[in-house]
Amino acid sequence: MRRSRALLAGAATAALMFTAACTTDTPTETAPEGTETTAEETAEAEGSDDSGANSDWFVQADFDRELAQRDIAPEGPADQPWLQAIEPEFVDTSEFASEGGDKVLCFSNASVSNPWRVTGWITMQQQVEVLEAEGVIGEFRVSDAADDDNKQISDIQAFVEAGDCDAIIVSPSTTATLTPAVEAACESGKPVIVFDRGVNTDCMVTFIHPIGGYAYGADGAEFLTENLDEGSTVLALRILPGVDVLENRWAAADKIFSESGLEVVGQEFTGGDAAQIKDIVTQYLQRGPVDGIWMDAGDGSVAAVEAFEDAGQPYPVFMGEDEMSFLRKWQDTEMTAIGAVYSNFQWRTPILAAQMIWNGEEVPSEWVLPQDPIEADELDAYLEENADMPSLHYAKFGGEDLPGYPEAWTDR
Amino acid sequence: MSTSAATARAERPRLLERITASSSWTVYALLIVVFVGILVMNPSFGEPMSLMAFVKKAAPLIILAIGQYFVIVSGEFDLSVGSLVGAQVVIAARLMDGEDSMTWPVMGIMLLFGLAVGLVNGLVTTLLKVPSFITTLGMMLVLYGAIRLWTGGAPTGALTEGFRQWGRGGLFGSPGEFQVPYALLIVVVLGVLAALLMRRPYGRTLMATGNNDVAAAFSGAPVWWVRTRAFLLSGLMATVAAVLIGGYAGVTAQVGQGLEFVAITAVVLGGVVLGGGRGSVVAAMAGALTLEALFTLFNQLSLPSTIRPAVQGVIIIAAVAYAAVPRRPRRRATAEPPSSAEPSSPVDPPSRPKEPAAT
Amino acid sequence: MSTAVTTAPPAAGAPPSSVRRRRRLGSTGIVYLALVGILLISVVLVGLRGGNFFSQSTVAYMLTQTSLLGFVAIGQTFVILCRSLDLSVGYVVALCSIVGATTMAGDPNRVWLGVVAALAVAAGVGLVNGLVISRLRVNPFIATLGVGLIIKGYLDTQFKGPAGSVPASFQGFGYTRIGPVPVSTIVMVAVAVLGVVLLTRTRSGYHMFAVGGNVDVARLSGIRTGRSIVLAHVLCSLCAGVAGLLIAARFSTGNALVYSYGLDLDSIAAVVLGGTLLLGGRGSVAGTVGGVAILAVLDTTFNVLDINPFFKDVLRGAIIIAAVALYARRQIDPASSRARFLPGRRAAPSAPTGTSGPATGGASA
């Protein structure tokens, strides 16, 4: 009797699990078709690199373009990479030109929820202070959406409706979802500047971004391919699935690894949490050697290196980021590594772009900033330059000439 | 009197039944199954170094589970532990900033901070009568925001080697070779202390409070203080867990995120009933160990990362459902003599469930 | 049986005092009083900064923020009234946004198909939640957390990022406004009215209160308690499904990452802020709408005043605790809340003597 009840419960659980699977399965029958066609249509129609709803995140044309852009010398002042642009196509902004200072600059920020964004946000505020001191900007109005797309849509709408923004800067939280809101902002007649992640429209005056995710992922993947023998094993550590910029990084690396002789032993999502990263690397080391580590973002890279130390294994060939704790660890251990860069100095550019637009100066319609990884021979120089900077600061933050340097970044 | 006689009578012939009757036997069974699974997939997991690496990873969750156990068994929740762990690691890094001499003073500050958070949680829940779910949810938001406000959004500073050794290092041998991790020793000591505490009068009062706080109050227990102490213990354990996690992996912005749900899941997996009054602390620890082993097994099976939450969801529901169904009829067998011997009155229930729980 | 006997004294003591208090000020009354208070403070603070809190854009912003959480919280009210809770709502919202958007696939003729598909999936998830809780007697916390994880695994595996597209006609649900009032808010209020009617005018509604108040007494008085719990969960998931459709309309696509917005805990906070007892048996949908409005006013004020996003979290946490503490002092009679506590706790030890052994699981779970 009791036993049968237990069995019943087990059977019921199993049945329920099946029902659960069935219920959630229903949408997939229509989903793949719908998704794929949309992805292709968008990709073909707009040729955008972040075409949102594609299922495999790999667009050959974008991949080729970004890889080629790495070798193109950018135009612009050599000592101000944040003003450089790769193959710019300038657009006329005279329609937005306006006299006088004390402009209202509105900025809809996706979030400051990771150290990269925190560093960039400080740089941006410092740049704004300069222009405030010069009398160009009167008010800098900011809405932080805390990674909530729905809130960011409302934030942008609020700026549009307030009507007194002289320019609207948007750092979108997700490419596909913010497109309607940005289009609405464009229609309001105010100059709109989008930076970091894109949107599926070209209505904004300028879209500012470093070369991109494919280039980022490829920098690391190529470095591993060059420095490892054929047949070596590589472990890929990723943060989250479904974030377009991160998916592009992996798509490029996956492509390069699949064409090389390297064996990818695993790709794991870690949430960027150091404890998870260390545990996962440790487990892979128990099962066999790992010769190279590829990461889609540098968060927690030191923990991955430590996993090798604690397991008594030789250091791998490592792809990290230009984040200070990793650079310091790299110097200490003298391992073979590369610090990939997703140019943090891009946070300055939108502010300066707004100033240019108010002045009626031409700006590139797609402002592609340079994006060069830190290689071994540059390591010491970057470490020396940023000697006072805390961990989780990004070496290529590009704020050294701003008046708040260095206190603003050291005492954040 | 009648109780001890009844249990003594039941003792010998029902040994097997007693094991299976305890609500937590499923967790031990699951633990063994998962471990066997891991060893089959990867025999090298049984090597001392691999096992010790696993212990270092699992230790913080086990300790959090102990803390969460005290709170849950008293009939409450603590959702703030994840944020608290994160806050503690960030506080440690910022205050130490790599200065070895600061290690111990800062650990003292962390201890006080952890206790203070526990005290606030406890007092707000007991004296202001805010449900603990809301108290600790609010505390979670406050800690999350306050710590980022203080550090400007991303952690700064660095942990000292003296601090990190607790989660990373061990006794005997040098790094990179076999060591007995400090984390293992800490877990064993805290586990034994927790099990002893649950046998002390405080533990029994705590269990009684979770079972029926009105009755516990009638029988003279200071319910508010009993529960507040449970929150203090939770804050203390979260602090220890923070020391171990910080030591194990260093500082990142994400440290501690989501740990509260993992800890509660672990405790429930160990057969502890949400709502209080039932379950053993050792089983809660086993629940945490099982959960960590399950994560390891997923990895060994090379299960795609994305599908793992789904499998985890099915397993916890199935385990809890399975534990929920056969328990009552079996339990009736051991619990029947005492409860039929004395008619239930408002006062006696708290003393009643202590017996089965303590065995 | 013994349960009913022991509950009697405190339960008998409770009604007079709660009746007296209710005459003074109902729980929903306090919520709206708090809302007015917070509104006044906000108006003054914004006014001091030279702003106008009742400008069209600010009001529109606030109401838009209300809708999404509003749907989820209204649904959450039903389950919390039944002394259950639903942690899977965030995942249901994400799932339904994707189901809706992929079914519509940009075709205006498929809008209704998409709506029906999304709601059907939502109802299915609710059914599973309800059955796992009522039949398998899994604690709602674990059951819904587990179901949420299952959905998360499915979403992460199947949809890496946004999927599907919504025709322009349906985007109106997310963007159209009548004056400062968004259509989504009107729909939300309509759903709330339906909820109020269901809870106060129908037998199913009374049963939910009864189940949440005391599951054993409810059962002994002939209520099929399992059915009420399943119904509450289906309604809760349906509301989350509507929220998912709203997300799809606003994003013009479905997005799996919506589950990271924290809607689960936010909705529970809103419900409790609305004066509903977390232990079930007492509360109202009207109060929940008030609770959601309080959170929306706070968010809007923080936004207009340009408060540091991290400081917002601190304030939000502190205000939620303070408000609930205030309710606890002012309105929730300790004696009556104890009475509710009692049967659930008492059920377990007394179960062995009664014939309702397995049934009490629902109470303590």
Q: Please state the domain extents for chain C.
A: 26-330
Give the CATH number of domain C26-330: 1.10.3470
pLDDT tens profile C264-312: 999 999 999 998 888 888 889 999 999 999 999 998 898 888 888 889 8
Say if residue A302 is in the same domain as residue A358: no
- Give residue A126's domain range: 80-210+345-371
Residue contact C102–A35, C-beta within 8 A = yes
Burial (CB count within 10 angstroms: exposed 0-12, middle 13-18, buried 19+), residue C272:
buried
Q: Do A300 and B252 touch (CB under 8 A)?
A: yes
**pLDDT value for C356:** 33
Lowest mean pLDDT among C1-10, C47-56, C311-320: C1-10
Number of domains chain B is built from: 1
* CB proximity B60 to A under 8 Å: yes
Which pLDDT does position A286 carry in this prediction? 86
- Is the confidence at residue C95, as pLDDT, over 90? yes
A85 and A205, same structural domain? yes
Q: Classify residue B8: in a domain, yes or no.
A: no
Measure in Å the smallest separation between the Cα of B18 and chain A Cα atoms.
15
Q: What are the beta bridge partners of residue A317?
A: A292
Residue A400 lies in a domain: no
Note the pTM of the prediction, 2 decimals: 0.83
In chain B, which residues have their Cβ closer than 8 Å to the Cβ of A5? 325-326, 329
C102-128 tens-digit pLDDT: 999 888 888 999 999 999 999 999 999
Residue A357 falls inside a structural domain: yes
What are residue A142's DSSP bridge partners? A107
- Residue in B249, B253, B317 closest to A278 by CB: B249
Give, for B260, the enclosing helix (H) or strand (E). helix B259-269
Interface with C, mutate which of B130, B213, B311, B312 (most C CBs under 10 A): B130
* For residues A267-283, average pLDDT: 89
| Minimal C-alpha gap between B318 and chain C (Å) | 9
For residue B85, tell me if it sits in a domain.
Answer: yes
- Are A350 and A336 members of one domain? no
Cβ distance of C250 and A23 shorter than 8 Å: no
Dump pLDDT digits (tens) for C184-223: 999 999 999 999 999 999 999 999 999 888 888 888 888 8
Distance between CA atoms of C64 and C177, rounded to whole angstroms?
10
Are residues A296 and A260 part of one domain? Answer: yes
A132 belongs to a structural domain = yes
Query: Which residues in C lie closer than 8 A to residue B331 (C-beta atoms)?
Result: 352
Instruction: Count CB atoms within 10 A of the CB of residue C56.
Output: 13
For residues C293 and C37, the answer to whether their CB atoms sit within 8 Å is no
Min Cα separation A190/chain B (Å): 31
Give contacts of B145 with chain C, Cβ < 8 Å: 310-317
Between CA C251 and CA C256 the distance in angstroms is 12
Residue A386: its chain B contacts at CB < 8 A? none
pLDDT digits (tens, 9 = 90+) for A347-397: 999 999 999 999 999 999 999 999 999 999 999 999 998 888 888 899 999
A87 and A202 together in one domain? yes
Cβ contact C117–A27 (<8 Å): yes
- Please check whether residues A349 and A306 belong to one and the same domain: no
Name the packing angle between helices C334-350 and B308-341 (round to 10°). 80
Of C57, C132, C161, Cβ closest to residue A244:
C161
Q: From CA B283, how far away is CA B358, in angstroms rounded?
A: 12
Helices (DSSP H) in A140-201: which residue ranges? 149-162, 179-187
CA distances from B253 to A114, A116, A393, B85, B335 (A): 7, 11, 12, 12, 49
Q: Which residues of chain B have pLDDT under 50?
A: 1-11, 13, 327-359
A vs C, Cβ pairs < 8 A, gives: 165
Look at residue B312 and tell me if it is in a domain.
Answer: no
| A186 and A94 part of one domain | yes
Same domain, A356 and A296: no
A403: preceding bond cis by omega (within 30 degrees) = no
Give the Å distances, CA to CA, from C298 to A108, A154, B203, C166, C349: 19, 15, 42, 31, 44
Find out whether B255 and A391 touch, Cβ atoms under 8 Å. Answer: no
Chain B positions in Cβ-Cβ contact with residue C329 (cut-off 8 Å): 128-129
Q: Which residues of C touch A176 (CB under 8 A)?
A: 161-162, 251-253, 255
Give the closest residue to A13 by CA, choosing from B324, B274, C149, B263. B324
CATH code, domain carrying B260: 1.10.3470
Which of C151, C156, C251 has the CB atom closest to A242's CB atom?
C156
E strand map for A185-291 = 192-195, 206-210, 233-238, 263-269
Which chains are within 8 Å of A by 3+ CB pairs? Answer: B, C
The side-by-side arrangement of strands in the sheet containing A192-195 is A137-144, A103-109, A167-171, A192-195, A206-210, A366-369
* A186 domain residue, yes or no: yes
Distance CA C251, CA C241 (A): 15
DSSP state at residue A73: P
Which residues of chain B have a CB within 8 Å of the CB of A118? 152-154
Claim to verify: residue A190 and residue A226 sit in the same structural domain: no
Domains held by chain A: number:
2
Cβ burial C239-263 (10 Å sphere, 16+ → b, else e): bbbbbbbbbbbbbbbbbbbbbebeb
Any domain includes B126 = yes
Give the tokens for residue B301. 């099976």
The verdict on A125 and A168 lying in the same domain is yes
How many B-C residue pairs are in contact by the CB < 8 A criterion? 213
Is B319 part of a structural domain of the chain?
Answer: no
**CATH code, domain with A157:** 3.40.50.2300
DSSP H or E stretch at residue C239:
helix C225-251
